[in-house]
Amino acid sequence: MDAHALLLSIVLSLPMAELGPVAGDARSNRTVAVAGTATAIPACLLVPAGSTGGGDSGDVSVALSGAQFSAVMQFTSQQLCGGARCKPTCRIGNWCEEVELNDLRMKEYVSKKEAGDLLVISKQLMLERALQPSVAKLRGNDGTLRNGDTVMLRNAASECFLSGNAEERIPGRKSTAYAVTTGPNATPCVRNVFAVELVNSDDKNAEEPVRYGDEVRLRLRGFIPDSDCYLYSEMVSALAASKCSRKQEVGALDKPAGNTRWQILHPDGKMRFETEGEPIKADQPVVIKHLSSGSYLASDKIKQMNIFGAENEVHAHCYYSANKTHNMNSEKNGEITGDYALRRHGPQNIWQFVVPSSQQDENRS
């Protein structure tokens, strides 16, 4: 053990005494001999036991053997009162780099503000664009849904309307895809008004009625500035699934494709064969089947947050009733059982084409 360590261990083992003389008196250069070596120790740390601390000055050699010392802590008046902190004008550290960085941040903020690229401004513009008023109307006066009519789709389980979310993109798709939900907004706007378009139609049959069993595309007009979007569904995979329930994904695609084709059917399986080919009324419940996968468009009260608030998830899934259908009894009566599902659809699969009465009255007038 060296001399400094030995001396420090002795000092810490001794009891504390009263404060000695203030710093800067004549004893500040006293030395203590340790094992033949003179080591300079401030007088504020070591004073002989019983010493009054006055009188003599200069260097004093005190032998450690047999001598009693007591440690004395002394502080200056500045230390006792607390040192002054740095003022705001004091430049410490990399002050020059910080000044340059703050200037760059201010310039970037001003440029984004002038260009309208700030997050708060872009969010406000997105809300205004998505909530622009739109028109939901039927071209006929008999309530029949026709090719190209614009309607709102209301789900029976969530009691909300199918809506697109242009601010939420779905990653990993070849084309640009956007999320869809069901929201409580019952006012027709850009995000919740869909045009029902027949897949195999031409301009000659522009006002052809939409019938049960027809293949249609549900189109969002003006959803994004440059193009329209079409409702689509994607099979469940490692990269494609609904966000919360992990069922079959449903979204809005920026161009028509094979997975944007849907079929409108009667919700009662026993009536499906009989009603095929009949015109669809706007106020009648329907189920919408995805042709590529065979699943049905559905929504449930599964909350999903977006810039419009808490809305409900949309996915594709077959919600069948768990009740028995008495297939054997139906076969005995000569009813069709094998080709059609006899179990009832749950309210998650039930949709209704809605046109606000106020807009329909305006269209008729």
Q: What is the pLDDT of residues 271-317, one digit of tens each?
A: 888 889 999 998 899 999 999 999 999 999 999 998 888 999 999 99
Our measurement of the distance from residue 248's CA atom to the centroid of its chain's CA atoms, rounded to an integer in Å, reads 20
CA 183 to CA 181: how far, in whole Å? 6
> Is the backbone of residue 35 left (phi > 0), alpha (psi -120 to 50) or beta?
left
Residue 187 has what pLDDT? 92
Residue 145 has what pLDDT? 93
Angle at CA 345, nearest 5°, toward 348 and 340?
145
Q: How many domains does the chain have?
A: 2
pLDDT band (50, 70, 90) for residue 205: low
Residue 33 has what pLDDT? 43
Residue where a domain stops, chosen among 62, 81, 100:
81
The reply to whether 290 and 206 lie within a common domain is: yes
| Mean of pLDDT values over 80-105 | 73
pLDDT band (50, 70, 90) for residue 31: very low
**pLDDT at position 54 over 60:** no
Residue 160 domain flag: yes
Our measurement of the distance from residue 318's CA atom to the centroid of its chain's CA atoms, rounded to an integer in Å, reads 28
**pLDDT at position 263 over 90:** yes
Non-local CB neighbours of 86 within 8 Å, separated by 6+ positions: 92
The reply to whether 76 and 135 lie within a common domain is: no
Residue where a domain stops, chosen among 81, 113, 147:
81
Residue 336 has what pLDDT? 60
**pLDDT at position 243 over 80:** yes
| Mean of pLDDT values over 121-130 | 81
CA 68 to CA 70: how far, in whole Å? 7
* Owning domain of residue 57: 3-81
Please indicate whether residue 161 or residue 27 has the higher confidence score (pLDDT).
Answer: 161
| Mean of pLDDT values over 337-343 | 61
**pLDDT at position 154 over 60:** yes
| Mean of pLDDT values over 114-127 | 80
Residue where a domain stops, chosen among 81, 97, 121:
81
CA nearest neighbour of 196 among 347, 82, 352 = 352
Please indicate whether residue 46 or residue 148 has the higher confidence score (pLDDT).
Answer: 148
Please indicate whether residue 33 or residue 176 has the higher confidence score (pLDDT).
Answer: 176
Please indicate whether residue 170 or residue 342 has the higher confidence score (pLDDT).
Answer: 170
Residue 111 domain flag: no
Residue 13 has what pLDDT? 58
Beta-carbon count within 10 A of 98 CB:
12
The reply to whether 140 and 274 lie within a common domain is: yes
Q: Three-state secondary structure along the chain?
A: CCHHHHHHHHHHHCCECCCCCCCCCHHHHCEEEECCEEEECCCCCEEECCCCCCCCCCCCEEECCCCCEEECCCCCHHHHHCCCCCCCCCCCCCHHHHHHHHHHHHHHHHHHHHHCCCHHHHHHHHHHHHCCECCCECCCCCCECECCCEEEEEECCCCCEEEEEEEEECCCCCCCEEEEEEECCCCCECCCCEEEEECCCCHHHCCCECECCCEEEEEECCCCCCCCEEEEEECCCCCCCCCCCCCEEEEEECCCCHHHCEEEECCCHHHHHHHCCCECECCCEEEEEECCCCCEEEEEEEEEEECCEEEEEEEECCCECCCCCCHHHHHHCCCCCCCCCCCCECHHHCEEEECCHHHHHHHHC
CA 218 to CA 186: how far, in whole Å? 18
| Mean of pLDDT values over 112-128 | 80
Residue 247 has what pLDDT? 93
The reply to whether 210 and 346 lie within a common domain is: yes
Please indicate whether residue 30 or residue 118 has the higher confidence score (pLDDT).
Answer: 118
| β pairing state of 177-183 and 229-234 | unpaired
CATH number of the domain bearing residue 253: 2.80.10.50
CA 179 to CA 186: how far, in whole Å? 19
Residue 118 domain flag: no
Please indicate whether residue 9 or residue 194 has the higher confidence score (pLDDT).
Answer: 194
The reply to whether 216 and 303 lie within a common domain is: yes
Q: pLDDT averaged over the chain? A: 77
Residue 91 domain flag: no
Residue 86 has what pLDDT? 57
pLDDT band (50, 70, 90) for residue 338: low
Residue 97 domain flag: no
Residue 103 domain flag: no
Residue 233 domain flag: yes
The reply to whether 77 and 136 lie within a common domain is: no
Residue 273 domain flag: yes
The reply to whether 62 and 152 lie within a common domain is: no
Q: Which of 136-145, 180-189, 306-315 has the lowest mean pLDDT?
A: 136-145
Residue 58 has what pLDDT? 42
**pLDDT at position 332 over 70:** yes
